[in-house]
Amino acid sequence: MNDIGNSPSARDIESIIHPYTNLDVHRTKGPMIIDRGKGVMVWDDEGNEYIEGMAGLWCASFGFGEEALIDAAVEQMRKLPFYHQFGHKSSMPSIELAEKLLAIAPKGMSKVFFANSGSEANDSQVKLQWYVNNALGRPEKKKILSRIKGYHGVTIASASLTGLPANHAEFDLPIANIGHVDMAYPYRGMEPGETEEEYSTRLAELLEQRILEEGPETVAAFIAEPVCGAGGVLVPPAGYFPKIQAVLKKYDIMMIADEVICGFGRTGNMWGCETYDIEPDSVSCAKQLSSAYLPISGVMVNDRIHDAMIEQSKKIGTFAHGFTYSAHPVCAAVAVRTLELMEERRILEHVREVMPVMQRRLRKLGDHPLVGDVRGVGLVGAVELVADKATKRAFDPKKMVGANCSEFAVRHGLITRAMTDSLGFCPPLVITEAEINEMFDRFEKALDDTEHWVT
């Protein structure tokens, strides 16, 4: 093999199937190989520096190279590198993590089940709804309503919950008993002259209509991200969740909060549920739980769900669900240390201090000729690029304007995320004011490049 044939890029192309990648394009384009990271910065294998404007995949809350987390992993690895939770077994990191999580959890959460990813957490949520409604003596109450554009993962049930066409097309999804309702998407969903409150009322009425069409006795739960992330960072309009929850309560339908992105400070509170007045029956969390240094997720449930699970266990003889790596001690130890660091370093206070800078710089992008909408909260946000600001006309999808804009950003040393023509920002929570300004300075250059390229 010659040198080019043996390059890391060629070896990657020869051997790896990349998630969320156009596999055909990858054969010629190849990978961007990230070699190391420190703070909010990462470097590729040619030494180029980037601000990681997405904290990886909305997850590396403490940035890269946080020694306290590395130490926690090494220490636990030496002491007990693996143990499991099957058949009454436990380990100290999982006990500590469960206690810590429940102490800060949204109101009403009383127990936690550990898994390894957001997808596994949400798949478990679906199974729990089925299991629990059987225990509650209402076996017909099995449907779960999710939202178009919502993102909940890629395993069979969680991909079914996800409301993005590419996750269903040709995978023969969604499975039965999963339905999708409208997303709260003020920029494209609000009618002229409508206030946010009125829009929220209309969405709640539409949800009620749908529940009545399905038959309320068949609908078990509604799942939503407090702020929809991968669907384009869609921030709910005023009053949305209280109005939605009033409908759910009326028909005894459970509320599942998918806090996989919002959890642990992203919106300026510990949970998106606090920011948006959500009172969940169960919560999925992952990503920032361990600053993404190791994979771990959790499903927290209230007593009503847990009591029903106990009844099933009594009847069947076991709770026959769980993963080899549920509450993996090394992952749990890193998660415990992450939660400790959040307190020790006053991360919530820090987020509240710098988030006005982030939101101000984001809003300023609204003056740019390509930017139709700007939205965000806390340390997460997006701009939506449009062909015509007055009419909100979108670009021809074939032009891949968002993807090209994100390529221009890379040239200016910034990693952001294109979700169709919305560009997302979700930096590590430890980002400083100066780094936020630098991130947007770089992005403004990318926007100008995009404008020259597209016109």
Which residues contribute to the site for ligand PLP (CB under 6 A)? 57, 117-119, 122, 151-153, 225, 229-230, 258, 260-261, 286
User: 175: closest CA among 192, 188, 190, 162?
Assistant: 162
Task: Let me know: does 405 contact 376? Beta carbons within 8 Å.
Answer: no
User: Could you tell me the smallest distance in angstroms from the CB atom of residue 220 to ligand PLP?
Assistant: 19
DSSP β-ladder status, 417-419 and 422-425: antiparallel
For the chain, the helix, strand and coil percentages under 3-state DSSP, each to the nearest 5 = 45, 15, 35
User: 358: closest CA among 16, 15, 53, 10?
Assistant: 53
Measured from each CB, the residue nearest to ligand PLP is 118
Buried b / exposed e across 344-359, counting CB within 10 Å, b at 16+? eeebbebbeebbebbb
Kindly list the distances between the CA atom of residue 353 and the CA atoms of 40, 56, 362, 430, in Å, as whole numbers in the listed order.
17, 22, 16, 11
**Closer CB to ligand PLP, residue 124 or residue 404?**
124
User: Could you tell me the smallest distance in angstroms from the CB atom of residue 122 to ligand PLP?
Assistant: 6
**Closer CB to ligand PLP, residue 425 or residue 440?**
425
- HSE-up of 402 (CA within 13 Å, CB side)? 20
User: Could you tell me the smallest distance in angstroms from the CB atom of residue 379 to ligand PLP?
Assistant: 15
Q: Which residue has the tokens 């190791």?
A: 294
CA 115 – CA 313 distance, rounded (Å): 19
**Closer CB to ligand PLP, residue 132 or residue 230?**
230
**Closer CB to ligand PLP, residue 286 or residue 358?**
286
CA 363 – CA 377 distance, rounded (Å): 11
DSSP β-ladder status, 219-224 and 178-181: unpaired
**Closer CB to ligand PLP, residue 152 or residue 328?**
152
User: Could you tell me the smallest distance in angstroms from the CB atom of residue 154 to ligand PLP?
Assistant: 6
**Closer CB to ligand PLP, residue 156 or residue 454?**
156
User: Could you tell me the smallest distance in angstroms from the CB atom of residue 19 to ligand PLP?
Assistant: 9
Tell me the residue length of the chain: 455
User: Could you tell me the smallest distance in angstroms from the CB atom of residue 258 to ligand PLP?
Assistant: 5
User: Could you tell me the smallest distance in angstroms from the CB atom of residue 315 to ligand PLP?
Assistant: 31
User: 164: closest CA among 147, 143, 188, 187?
Assistant: 147
Q: Where are the beta strands (DSSP E) in 239-348?
A: 254-258, 282-285, 297-302
**Closer CB to ligand PLP, residue 241 or residue 408?**
241
Q: Which tokens belong to 128?
A: 């729990």
User: Could you tell me the smallest distance in angstroms from the CB atom of residue 153 to ligand PLP?
Assistant: 4
Segment holding 42, helix H or strand E: strand 41-44
**Closer CB to ligand PLP, residue 57 or residue 403?**
57
User: Could you tell me the smallest distance in angstroms from the CB atom of residue 298 to ligand PLP?
Assistant: 12
Residue 442 in 3-state DSSP? helix
CA 291 – CA 64 distance, rounded (Å): 9
User: Could you tell me the smallest distance in angstroms from the CB atom of residue 12 to ligand PLP?
Assistant: 21
CA 168 – CA 170 distance, rounded (Å): 6
**Closer CB to ligand PLP, residue 266 or residue 306?**
266
Residues sharing a CB contact under 8 Å with residue 202, sequence separation 6 or more, in sequence order: 194
Task: Let me know: does 386 contact 395? Beta carbons within 8 Å.
Answer: yes
User: Could you tell me the smallest distance in angstroms from the CB atom of residue 193 to ligand PLP?
Assistant: 32
Q: For residue 268, give the DSSP letter.
A: S
- HSE-up of 368 (CA within 13 Å, CB side)? 25
**Closer CB to ligand PLP, residue 63 or residue 150?**
150
**Closer CB to ligand PLP, residue 135 or residue 419?**
419
